[in-house]
Amino acid sequence: MPSLKTIRKRITSVKATQKITRAMKMVAGARLNRAQSRITALRPYALKVHEILEDVAAAMTERQADAEFSAAESVDALHPLLHRRAEKNVLFLVMSGDRGLCGAFNTNVNKAAERAWKEKQAEGAEVTFATAGRKGREYLTRRKGVVAKDFPRLMDGLDISKARKVGEYVTARFKRGEVDAVYIVYNEFKSAMTQKTTVELLLPPPERPAPVKETGLAPTFGFEPNERVVLERLVPMYVEISIYRALLETQAGFFGAQMTAMDSATRNAKDMIARLSLQYNRARQAAITKELMEIIGGAEALKD
């Protein structure tokens, strides 16, 4: 059995750790509240931008099928970011945390990126990565992944300008034909305890079937001044907002995972302190009993 001094040192050490984990839980909780309010406010807007782009592209595709505008004015020709090519070169934009102590948050997104990487390789595609987050970069580098670009410390003072910087990089590579598709890998925030790992196509934007005419519900669009001008504003906005949303989802998910992990660590420390205290009391009681027995034995020996 460990000595009383050893047990006391362990109790002191665990109590110090408990103070740290409790403080980290409180900090993560405060940051989570701010991050959650930001993603809750942005998410409807981001989804609506995506929906509008899908509606416009579907309507233009339908008009093209009806020969209302020429092949030179096709959806792909009107904007280079809508051009669809065989996926021979694929870029994955992997968003992770810069720090640990957040449970399986970073592990989940890293493994999802690796699975998607192997799937594309099996299909014959060349895969490169752009990373936002130190944990993702280190994971992929250890596995010999080609990290073409790293965006360090994006989560510090996160705003739309940082998302725009990432968007400019991926769109430039797509326009130059260096990559044929861009995917985002991130953790979508559901709650403080739940994050959904997502692999989402960013470029070219996912297609949606054109509205069915028979229902009479197909939307009718008028483009002012013309389709090209509308798409030149709408498509970059979609890319920028989609990246910004993924960054905010990642930030909120990280703080939620960290708060949950630190809460679990604090409770585990409390349980360990209780066990060590019980062990200490038993050892102390055994030591006192032993001393009493020695005293009584000595006294009996003197009587004899």
Contact 199, 119 (CB under 8 A): no
Q: Is 201 left (phi over 0), alpha (psi -120 to 50) or beta?
A: beta
**E-state strands within 53-146:** 89-95, 126-132
Q: How confident is the model at residue 130 (pLDDT cuts 50, 70, 90)?
A: very high
Residue 167 in contact with residue 236, Cβ under 8 Å? yes
CB atoms within 10 A of CB 81: 20
pLDDT at 212: 47
Model pLDDT, residue 4: 83
pTM, to two decimals: 0.82
pLDDT by residue (tens digit) across 63-79?
Answer: 655 555 554 455 555 67
CB 16 within 8 A of CB 269: no
Name which of 247, 163, 154 is nearest 198 in CA terms: 247
Question: What are 19-74's pLDDT values in tens digits?
Answer: 999 999 999 888 888 888 888 888 888 888 888 787 777 666 666 555 555 544 55
Buried b (16+ CB within 10 A) or exposed e, 124-158: ebebbbbbbbbbbbebbeeeebeeebbbeebbeeb
| Domains annotated on the chain, with CATH | 21-211+218-262 (3.40.1380.10)
In this prediction, residue 213 carries a pLDDT of: 47
- Supply 80's token pair: 């280079």
More confident residue, 283 or 217: 283
pLDDT exceeds cutoff 70 at 149: yes
What local confidence, expressed as pLDDT, does residue 157 receive?
84
What's the pLDDT score for residue 54?
76
Nearest one of 109, 115, 114, 112 to 95, comparing CA atoms: 109
Q: Which of 96, 42, 90, 28 is nearest to 244 (CA)?
A: 42
pLDDT band at 139 (very low <50, low <70, confident <90, very high): very high
Residue 167 is encoded by which pair of tokens?
């968007």
Give catalytic residue positions: 102
